[in-house]
Structure 1
Amino acid sequence: MTRIIPARNARQGTRGRHVLLVLIAALMLAMAAWGAAEFYGEMIDKNANQTTTVPG
């Protein structure tokens, strides 16, 4: 005979505050990495535009 298990007990985990905190932390880290890449890209672009020419 098969045992009937309620859906609440059969789940591996529930959604809750922990999942939300992990998702928010991951989003913040992704935004920080994006900002660092943007900042670095702007620095490289400004250095490329500052070329010196030799008179002559």
Structure 2
Amino acid sequence: MPEKTTPEKARQGRRGVPVLLVLVFGLLLAAVVWWGVEVYGLMLDQQQAIETPASRDAPAG
């Protein structure tokens, strides 16, 4: 005769951190990284020189 197993032992997953918390913290971490990349991109954009083409209306004099 097979052994009887309690419902607690028969569970495939064990008790631990709820999946919702893992998903929420992962989303928050992704948002922080995204913000950091945005700030870095803005810093790079402000450091580049702005080139303006020479005006064709000015006299060649």
TM-score, normalised by the number of residues in structure 2: 0.52
Identity rate, percent: 38
Distance apart, 1:43 and its partner CA: 0.3
Distance apart, 1:40 and its partner CA: 0.2
Runs (4 or more) in structure 1 with deviation over 2 Å come to 9-14
The structure whose residues are more often helix, as a share, is 1
Q: What is the aligned partner in structure 1 of residue 34 from structure 2? A: 34
Cα RMSD over matched residues? 2.6
The number of equivalent residue pairs is 49
Where structure 2 has 5 or more consecutive residues not aligned to the other structure, the ranges are 1-8, 51-61
TM-score, normalised by the number of residues in structure 1: 0.56
